[in-house]
Structure 1
């Protein structure tokens, strides 16, 4: 049941980021931050206790608490929203690329994901990220999240696999998952770039206008 709940949540939030990332910027980043906070909190408990992801009441409690904290901070403060939102997007994209290249789920995958997240967060704050870039990155990160949710829903992976070090090494996905990912990303980009504002605005300008 937990796998289904997390899978549905991932599909819904991934769809919001993929298709509406720029249009509802403040809400999207807050929701995305909440989801990331939940996984971070639950993952920390799993790492400390050695249990599976969300295998105990403590994991759920910490996950929800961190989710609320991340969500509120991401909604209220611009800099925090950029760090959480863009950092999570960068991490998602970095790890997705590593998985696509066949790199096993190890310190290399995590390190590349963290590096991509930090780099994207810095670029977003210092360079005032154009909304068109946000639309592109959000579409790909959202597509990754949707696919992860579908993998949970169809029983290809379980929630414990999200924190397992050997998940990628033993994961053999059919070509249709890759095709689905590409189709979702392209559809998300097309949906977001239909707006002229998304093609010429910046992240800070859009945030200030909300």
Structure 2
């Protein structure tokens, strides 16, 4: 049941971020922040308790509370919004790149994801980033979330698999997931670029 819920959320929010991330940045990043918060809060409970991801009431409660916190902060404060978006996108993209190279799901993938996330987050708060950067990164991150959600909904993977090497082996044997990912990335960049506002800087767009 948890896999279905997370799968639906991942597909819906992933598509929103992929296709409309920069167009309605303030709202979309707040929604993205809620999704990230839910997974982070539930993940912390799972790691500390040893229970399955979102398999207990406590996991849901903490996940929802962190989701609300992240969502509100992302909506109200530009620095938080962009830092949260860049860090989470960086982690997703970094981890996806490692998976694409067939790296086993272990500390290497986590480390690369965290490093890429930190680099993007620091760049986001220290430079006046162009809006087109969020278009590209939003398309990448949104496509990653969407494909992950589709894999959960089709039972290609389960939530428990995200701590095992089976994730990378599953993706490696099914080339069409890469094709879907590529199509989503291209569609996202095209869709957002076509309706991008006049403001060229990310903060002005926000």
Length-normalised TM-score, structure 1: 0.93
Aligned residue pairs, count: 205
Which structure 2 residues correspond to residues 42-191 of structure 1 after superposition, within 5 A? Answer: 42-162=42-162, 164-168=163-167, 170-171=169-170, 172-191=172-191
8 Å contact from structure 1 (residues 33, 74) kept in 2: yes
State the shift of 1:165 in Å. Answer: 3.7
8 Å contact from structure 1 (residues 102, 168) kept in 2: no
In structure 2, what is the Cα distance between the partners aligned to 1:124 and 1:42? Answer: 26
In structure 2, what is the Cα distance between the partners aligned to 1:144 and 1:191? Answer: 17
Length-normalised TM-score, structure 2: 0.95
Q: Compared with structure 1, are the counterparts of its residues 181 and 169 closer, same or farther at alpha carbon in structure 2 (3 Å cutoff)?
A: closer
1:14-53 CA-to-partner distances (Å, cap 9, x unmatched) read 0001000110100111111110000000000111111111
Q: Determine helix, strand or coil for the equivalent of 1:41.
A: helix
In structure 1, what is the Cα distance between the partners aligned to 2:88 and 2:173? Answer: 24
Q: Compared with structure 1, are the counterparts of its residues 19 and 196 closer, same or farther at alpha carbon in structure 2 (3 Å cutoff)?
A: closer
The answer for unaligned runs of 5 or more in structure 1 is: none
In structure 2, what is the Cα distance between the partners aligned to 1:205 and 1:81? Answer: 13
In structure 1, what is the Cα distance between the partners aligned to 2:168 and 2:145? Answer: 19
CA-atom RMSD in angstroms:
1.4
State the shift of 1:97 in Å. Answer: 0.5
